[in-house]
Amino acid sequence: MREPVDRRRQRILGVVRSRGAVRVGDLASELEVSVVTVRRDVEELARAGQLRRGHGVVRSIVPVEEAGAAGAAAGAPGARPGEDGAPIGLVVPERHSYLFETLHGARTVLEEAGMRIALHIAPAVSGGERPMVEQALASGVQGLLIAPRWRGLGAEEADYGWLASLGVPTVLMERRPRPGSALHALDSVCSDHWYGVHLAVEHLISLGHRRIVLGARDDSPTARAVRAAFAAIAAERPEVEDWAVTLSSPTAVPEPAERSRAESASPSASESASESAEEPKPDVLDLIRSRGATAAVLHGDVDALMLVQRFQEAGIRVPEDFSVVAYDDVVAALGSTPLTAVAPPKTEVGRAAAELLLHRLRRPAGERAAPVRRIELLPDLQVRGSTGPVNGPESGPESRAGE
């Protein structure tokens, strides 16, 4: 028989008043009801002024007995010895929809665990994360989740030293530092972008495409991972007769000050077996036509949607004449032609990073430090309306250029 609502809410009040503070998830487990039900009850009780709501935590407004209060303070959600429930700092770049999905995943886990969150938005300038981290540390955070912008390798390497010596548990989100660097032994959670590119290329090969172009950004760690993976995979697959890499957008490159010496000396923005980094970077549509390509992978979604619009203006049909796979899947499904897209597990990266940080924070004082963890999560492929089989030698943008 279902428990009456009033009785359940009285039980909630009794538990909260006896402990001082309780996690919503713990209440749901003890009452053997859903978290949604408990949240609804808590909202009504808070509206009636009988308790206080926090981020995933319910707190009593009635003083508990002295002994109970001491126990509640020691065991309060988010509290560590001497830190009295210090918050978790989250540092992400401004105006970055991809990483905001990651942020949402981390926030959900932290709120369910009763942790307070201090969000810091880093401006879109080189080194913009460091002042935000310093502010977070000055405010007394007990741990950090961070996703630096790192537009170039130079900007990335410039952050290695200070990030490695923060003094609080830190987890990188959707970032994989250079092997052997000062951050190699820092906890991190990242999408396996090699596997994401593999899914895209395999899908196109299965549809008969043999001439494939990658139009990719070159101004983020994800972009650099996608470019490197595509070049390696395309070069190794005998089915791929011709491939090339170019910029998906002329502005998708880091500023010179953000590049490292090694980065500026190596081919990157437009490379294939017959091209060098010193040559002008061709427009992605011009490159597709000149190479006779029948398919392209575009990083990211907005550049892919814009390419499809340009195809439509030129009388090129997608997917009848040309197939397009987007990489990111933030807005790929919203185009007039919904785009097939590689979908990194953005939200799950944030969840896993938060869980990893909580695991480290909850280890008893004096216990040997937990091993460093470098977690990779696999993307998946969302097949939609922008990819189809090759129609034969008459298909492709070049064959319809004069129509």
Give the pLDDT of residue 80.
Answer: 41
* Distance from C-alpha of 354 to C-alpha of 172, rounded to nearest angstrom: 10
Query: Closest by alpha carbon to 200, among 288, 329, 98, 310?
Result: 329
* Distance from C-alpha of 170 to C-alpha of 143, rounded to nearest angstrom: 6
Cis check: omega of the bond before 319, within 30 degrees of 0: yes
- Given a contact cutoff of 8 angstroms between Cβ atoms, the answer to whether 159 and 341 are in contact is no
Give the pLDDT of residue 255.
Answer: 80
Query: Closest by alpha carbon to 219, among 126, 343, 330?
Result: 126
Give the pLDDT of residue 34.
Answer: 87
Considering the entire predicted model, what is its pTM?
0.75
Neighbours of 341 (CB within 10 A): 31
HEC readout, 117-158: EEEEEECCCCCCHHHHHHHHHHCCCCEEEECCCCCCHHHHHH
β-bridge mates for residue 327, sequence order: 299, 342
DSSP string across 299-350:
ESHHHHHHHHHHHHHTT--TTTT-EEEEES-SSGGGSSSPPEEEE--HHHHH
pLDDT < 50 stretches in the chain: 64-84, 267-278, 393-394, 401-403
* Distance from C-alpha of 43 to C-alpha of 154, rounded to nearest angstrom: 49
Cis check: omega of the bond before 300, within 30 degrees of 0: yes
- B/e letters for 143-171, b = 16+ CB within 10 Å, e = fewer, are bbbbbbbbbbbbbbbbbbeebeebebbbb
Could you give the strand order of the β-sheet that contains 21-23, starting from the edge strand earlier in sequence?
21-23, 57-60, 51-53
Residues 6+ apart with CB under 8 A from 123: 94
* Total residues found in the chain within this entry: 403
| Six token digits for residue 263 | 């980065």
* Distance from C-alpha of 247 to C-alpha of 375, rounded to nearest angstrom: 29
pLDDT tens digits for range 40-58: 888 888 888 888 887 678 8
* Distance from C-alpha of 215 to C-alpha of 251, rounded to nearest angstrom: 13
